[in-house]
Chains A and B, each alone.
Chain A
Amino acid sequence: MILPRKFLCVITDEHLCPVKLAGMALDGGARMVQLRRKTASGRELYEWASRIQELCRQRDAVFIVNDRVDIALAMHADGVHLGQDDLPASAARSLLGPDTIIGVSVSSAAEAEKARDDGADYIGAGHIFPTFSKEKTSPPLGTAPIREIAKASGLPVVAIGGINMDNLRKVMAAGASAVAVISAVSGAIDPVSATRTLVNQIWQ
């Protein structure tokens, strides 16, 4: 699986049906969907993942499973996204083989270099702005480190954390290849048009 150039990644939240949200994100033009639901059981994740993967295949979009390499292996997901506290990327790479996309969350250039050496295909950099979607103890990075992280790793950087239609262009201008959002889509009154707006801004 090859990463698209400049794209929007929509991540599922803890409330909406992930399959429904994925469908709306794809309708709005998102090229990547990430299934993330920390409270779900393995069976739920497997069932959602199978259905979202099918939707993504129909639209030629990329489907990524957060944290659960087991679920990604079980249903042949396009990729996984790993945090610093998840299974090490090197271990995930040996399990998943060379063709599965692996993304790793980092908050510094040093972590980004390590992620690249461990076999990551893209870097998730954040959180850029203050966010309430995930509990954070560290201060936001701001947009300045994005270019440094991209340079250090030589990999596409997906910026995440508090990004919305008001600040997205600043993030892209700072060197991000893509943007990942949770609440900017899942919390919108109309998730399809919210996605469309964000996608349009990425390409502006």
Chain B
Amino acid sequence: MVVSSGVEHLSNRGLAVAQSEALAGSVPVIFQLREKGLEAGAVHSLCLQLSPLIKASGSLLMLNERFDIALATGADGVHLPESACPCDIVRKAAPGLIAGGSVHGKATAVEAARAGIDYLLFGPVFPTPSKEAFGPSQGLDALQEVCRSVSIPVFAVGGITPEKAYACIENGAYGIAALGPFLDTGALCATINRFQSFIDL
């Protein structure tokens, strides 16, 4: 399961820290930090704060795009959007990091897998306001097609609820990724458990 976090469309600056603290009581997840609105210096100090919390919880900290900051802060990996520096180049420059990527179609999924990416986020599978920029929802059939075309784990993203998670797994997804459901940090562990129960069905 990928728990995405980012304040670019929220006003809650302490969100990522509160989420990371809450992860102490959770099953391990991939915690993906996407802080587009922050300067690199602020992301660096935030990551220094998050990294030990995430490590202690057994989860993985993935940082969007900036593998330099990931390397400098002890994060586990880097997440590469389609518009990021090519994966094979990142791999060469930062061989010790896990590399995840976002794709929105089969062709780019196959290309990313060939370039050596470790896992993919594919979506938006269902309609969602936070992924509107990536076009209309693509549905479960498209998810299945992408999952069949690569041998690396594919996480379904976009409008995923616990109830919809099962259908994603049935269609070949390795797991799911979401942002909205995890904003309530007080209920974070319960929400993750609820997702997990549908993933494990």
Spell out A's residues near B (CB within 8 Å): 41-46, 67-75, 83-88, 91-92, 94-95
Contact = CB atoms under 8 A, between A and B. Distances in A.
Contacts of B90: 70, 74
Contacts of A74: 85, 89-90, 92-93
Contact of A46 (B39, B71, B72, B86): B86
The SS class assigned to the A binding surface is: helix
Interface stretch (B18-26, B60-68, B104-112): B60-68
A135 to B, nearest CB: 13
B187 interface: no
Contact of A84 (B41, B85, B86): B41
A75 B89 contact: yes
Nearest to B71: A95
Interface in B6-57: 39-42, 44
Contacts of B84: 41-43
B72 A95 contact: yes
Nearest to B83: A41
B89 A87 contact: no
Interface of B: 39-42, 44, 65-69, 71-72, 80-81, 83-86, 89-90, 92-94
Contacts, number: 69
Contact of A86 (B39, B83, B93): B39
Contact of A87 (B72, B80, B93): B72
Contacts of A87: 40-41, 44, 68-69, 72
A193 to B, nearest CB: 35
B83 A91 contact: no
B185 to A, nearest CB: 27
A88 B44 contact: yes
B34 to A, nearest CB: 13
Nearest to A84: B41
A91 B41 CA distance: 10
A69 to B, nearest CB: 4
B94 A86 contact: no
A83 B44 CA distance: 14
A70 to B, nearest CB: 4
Q: Which 6 A-B pairs have the closest CB atoms?
A: A41-B83, A69-B68, A85-B39, A70-B68, A42-B84, A91-B72
Contacts of A91: 44, 72
A67 B41 CA distance: 10
A87 to B, nearest CB: 5
A76 to B, nearest CB: 9
Nearest to B94: A73
Contacts of B40: 67-69, 85-87
Nearest to A71: B85
B73 to A, nearest CB: 8
A108 to B, nearest CB: 17
Contacts of A88: 41, 44
B165 to A, nearest CB: 30
Contacts of A73: 67-68, 93-94
A47 to B, nearest CB: 9
A46 B40 CA distance: 17
Output the residue of B42, B69, B72, B92 with the most chain A CB within 10 A: B72
Contacts of A71: 85
Contacts of B39: 83, 85-86
Nearest to A86: B40
Nearest to B44: A87
A94 B72 contact: yes
Nearest to B73: A91
Contacts of B68: 68-70, 72-73, 87, 92, 95
11 contacts: A42-B81, A68-B68, A69-B69, A70-B65, A70-B85, A86-B39, A86-B40, A86-B41, A87-B44, A91-B72, A95-B72
